[in-house]
Amino acid sequence: MSSGLKILELTFDEFLEILHTRYGKGIYHARVIYREVFQNGILDLKNTRAFSNSQNFAHAITSDLEINTGKLIEIKKEDGTTKFITRLQDDHEIESVVIPMATHNTICVSSQVGCRFGCKFCQTGQLGFARNLTTEEIIGQVYSAKFKLNLIARNIVFMGMGEPFDNFENVIQAVRVLNDQRGFNVALRYITISTVGEKTAIQKLSSLGMKGLRLSISLNASNDRIRTQIMPSRKISSMETLRHTLIHYPFSKKETIFITYVLIQNINDTYEDALELAEYVKPIPSKINVIPYNPRSASPFESPSTEKVMQFCNWLAECGVFIRKRSPKGQDVMAACGQLGKIKKS
């Protein structure tokens, strides 16, 4: 009977401690196993050269390792973007996206089944909240992309289904596992957590001392009136509280925060919005990602024209704001920002 050693939830040091306590093995065997699983995707260790003289242990650890990455049930591709849907052990489904960039791939991972924040422009927000993902289920998305789909990502962004800070402990543990040099070895500067911006969670993150970890704020408005209209959850901090929190966030000199602004036609796209946004971010070391709205199912909102997007970006630039316009990718297969999650028809 399997003892359920969930290695995908463990950093190397945590795995080493369990290996020593349970099997009496030390750092040599721990390094081999951790490397084989995380770097090579090998789960059957019986034929590994390092265990040629330890076959009883090889059989035992192979039997005990428990890796539940779920079942890939659907893969959709568009212009190099790959969306894959995973069915979890309890039959819930999550979606992940691998996005090709100029020199590397970025994987967008989910942190929850559904979301409790209900942002009106977001597909996931219409699903309601089912549950948090485990650390294993979060890591499993990266594992599946690498070893099942042969898609290796340099950057990892927590911008899929769910609010990452609403699943704080499991997300942070996933970051630690991803960052472990003996495993996936993803530098913190290549990991981004996107959040709607709740003061307590941001302060909690700042206390962890995870220097280099990227933070992205899903702002999407220049004032509270518009923001509460499209992001109605009472859990979200006011914009003034959020700004005060970000001003006091312990950035290093070279670090900036990403401010995501989903541009929605006739909602947050005026000249006054641009001026107010520029004034809001002035004291925050930040870069603004302007994302043209990607329509969700049965959306009450419309996407802005290309000309309107460029005009809005130019207004911000004239105010001295550093901006980056994100081009939609995977929109036709519902893989773009704000489009993840399948709404089941009643």
Look at residues 35, 65, 72 and name the one whose alpha carbon lies nearest to residue 150. Answer: 72
Exactly one of 108, 115, 119, 337 is catalytic; name it.
Answer: 337
Q: What's the sign of the alpha-carbon dihedral 133, 135, 140, 142?
A: positive
What pLDDT, in 10s, does the model give residues 38-65?
A: 999 988 888 887 787 788 888 899 899 9
pLDDT band at 333 (very low <50, low <70, confident <90, very high): very low
Give the model's pLDDT for residue 337: 55
Give the model's pLDDT for residue 234: 85
Tell me, what DSSP letter sits at residue 247?
H
Does residue 266 register a pLDDT over 50?
Answer: yes
What ranges do the domains of the chain cover?
7-64, 71-333
Q: How far is CA 194 from CA 157, 160, 268, in A?
A: 7, 9, 20
CATH code 3.40.190.10 for 71-333: no
The type of residue at 120 is: K
What pLDDT, in 10s, does the model give residues 72-113?
A: 999 999 888 999 999 999 999 999 999 998 899 999 999 999
Token digits for 59? 């059989």
Give the model's pLDDT for residue 26: 93
Chain-centre distance for alpha carbon 94? 12
214-218, strands of its sheet edge to edge: 71-78, 81-87, 93-100, 105-108, 155-158, 191-195, 214-218, 257-263, 286-292, 323-325
Write down the residue that tokens 């670090």 correspond to: 255
Please state, as a whole number, how many other Cβ atoms lie within 10 Å of the Cβ of residue 247: 11
Does residue 25 register a pLDDT over 80?
Answer: yes
Phi/psi of residue 239, nearest 5 degrees:
-65, -35
Does residue 225 register a pLDDT over 50?
Answer: yes
- Whether residue 122 lies in the annotated active site: no
